[in-house]
Each structure stands twice: as structure tokens, then as C-alpha cells.
Amino acid sequence: MADVNRGDRPLSPHLLIYRPQITSMLSIVHRVTGVGLFVGFVLGVWWFFAAAAGPEYFELVDWIVTSWIGNLVMLGCCWALWYHFCNGIRHLFWDAGYGFELETVTKTGYAVLIASGVLTVLTVIVMLASGGSDEAAANGTAAEPAVRTASVASTPTGADI
Amino acid sequence: MAFRTPRQNAQGMGSAGYGTGHWWMQRITSIALIPLTLLFVFPFGQALGESHAAVLALYSSPWHALVAVLFIGVTAHHLMSGLQVVIEDYVHSKGWRTGMLLANTMICVALGAAGIFSVLRIAFSA
């Protein structure tokens, strides 16, 4: 046809030609974490299924999920979940029509990175704290009545209840 | 006999052949998952690595069982619609695309059903 200029026309810029920017990187990571969380969901459902199936099967699945490689995958999924969670909220604000200014987009982008890191560390702390509860259980039973009597004594209406 | 005018049949459907339902369901599930994730993740994280008896004890609580059922169900839907978009974006061959979309729907529904069934079995047998 009249396509004489073939090969000499400007090409649509390819993805790889762009300098990495926080906006594009976070957008790509949102998709990657979304797809990656499929693995976490499979592991989580498998774990629940094993718990429902019985103690023997649970022992096997629990051993796999909490092995060092299982822990590594779960830690990655933990961060991926919080990242997708935080950046998802950022997306919802965009859907509602807020936060489109370049400066705001950059700021919220860094906020998402920081918040997802903080939430991951918080989750790990909560998990580790409960991990120690097995050993602390014996001490806990001794401490609990003391706390309870203290709270009853400090409440004047305690006698009515 | 067709009572609907051609315009009525086309209105709001877009070039993909259906309306904004998919997009809107993604938003609804996103918003629902904000409180559900916060409620689900921490007890789940604490139960992970605990004994079988401790796990059964946690999810025999109606509150934790309900949160887990809702989280798993909504996540399965959100995961399915998200993966669907990714497949539609990157898989161009008609055969592969149809096959992967089918597999995606079936696997996500099966995972959701397996998760909900398991939690309910724990909750009801305790």
C-alpha cells in the first residue's frame, strides 16, 4: 500500500527504554506481589486443609510450611501481602480521584514502602511473641489470677458482679 | 421476538462484551479485604507453627472461624479476578489464553472452597 516509509518511522517507546522511576517500579511490584501471593494462598489453604484432615497430615504440612524454606516463603508472602495491601489502598484513593499530583504520588509511594516494611516487622514480632507463649504458658497461669484479683479489687462494683 | 433495541443490548457493555462488573467487583473485594486482612493475619500468624490442638482451639472460636471464612472467600475472588487481568494482558494466543483463564477460574474456586470447607470442619467439629 502507501507504506513507503516502513522501517523509518518512529517506534512506540518500549518498556525497557524507560529510566526506572518510583511510580513505574511500584506499579510493577504491585502486580508481581499480586501474582506471587497466589503461592501464599495455596500454602495457607493447604495448611488449613491439613489442620482439618487430622494430626498426622497436619504434622507433615506444618513441618513443610515452617521449615526454613517455608519460613522464607511465608516471610516473602507476608511482605508481599502488606505491600499489596498498602499500595492497594493507594490505588483506591486514585480510583476515588485523589492523590494524582506528581509530588503526592511520589510521597505516597515512599509511604507505601515504609508502611509495608513496618507492618512486616510488626507481624514477625507478633508471631515470635506467640512462639514464646508455649514456654511462658506455665508462668502465665501463675500470673493470671494475680492480675484478675488486682482488677477486681480496684473496681468498686466488683462485688456486685 | 426481541423486545430490546440493539442500542439497549450494547449500552454499557464496552468492547470486551461485558460491563464494568469485573472492575467494580475488584474494588468491592479490595475494600472488604482491608478490615479482613487486618483481622485475619495476626491470629493466623500466631497459630502458624503452633501445635495441632492449638490451631483447632483457635479456629473453633466462631469469631476467628468467621473471619477466616470471609477472608478466604473474598481473597479467592480477588485473586481470581486479578490473575484473570494478568492472563488477559500477557497471554495472546487464543488457545493458551482460554485454557489459562479456565484453569484460573477452576483453581481459584477450588482453593476458596477447600479453605472454607476446612475452616468450617474445624469450627463445627470442635
CB contact set of A57 (below 8 Å; sequence gap of 6+): A50
Burial A37-60 (b: 16+ CB within 10 A, else e): bbebbebbbbbbbbbbeeeeebee
Residue A131 pLDDT? 62
Output the domain CATH number for residue B77: 1.20.1300.10
Does A53 map to a domain?
Answer: yes
Q: Which of residues 26-55 of B touch A (CB under 8 A)?
A: 27, 30-31, 33-34, 37, 41-42, 44-46, 48-50, 52, 55
Does B6 map to a domain?
Answer: no
Residue A5 pLDDT? 66
Does A38 map to a domain?
Answer: yes
Does B5 map to a domain?
Answer: no
Query: What's the number of domains chain B is made of?
Result: 1
CB contact under 8 A, A62 and B46: no
Q: What is the DSSP letter of A11?
A: P
Does B14 map to a domain?
Answer: no
Q: What is the DSSP letter of B33?
A: H
Tens-of-pLDDT digits for all 161 residues of chain A? 566 666 677 777 777 778 889 999 999 999 999 999 999 999 999 999 999 999 999 999 999 999 999 999 999 999 999 999 999 999 999 999 999 999 999 999 999 999 999 999 999 999 998 764 444 443 444 334 444 444 444 444 434 43
Domain holding B27, by residue range, is 23-125
Query: What's the number of domains chain A is made of?
Result: 1
Taking the Cβ of residue B61 and every Cβ of chain A, the question of whether any pair is shorter than 8 Å is answered with: no
Domain holding A41, by residue range, is 22-136
Does B8 map to a domain?
Answer: no
Does B4 map to a domain?
Answer: no
Does A72 map to a domain?
Answer: yes
**ipTM, 2 decimals?**
0.88
Does B53 map to a domain?
Answer: yes
Output the domain CATH number for residue A41: 1.20.1300.10
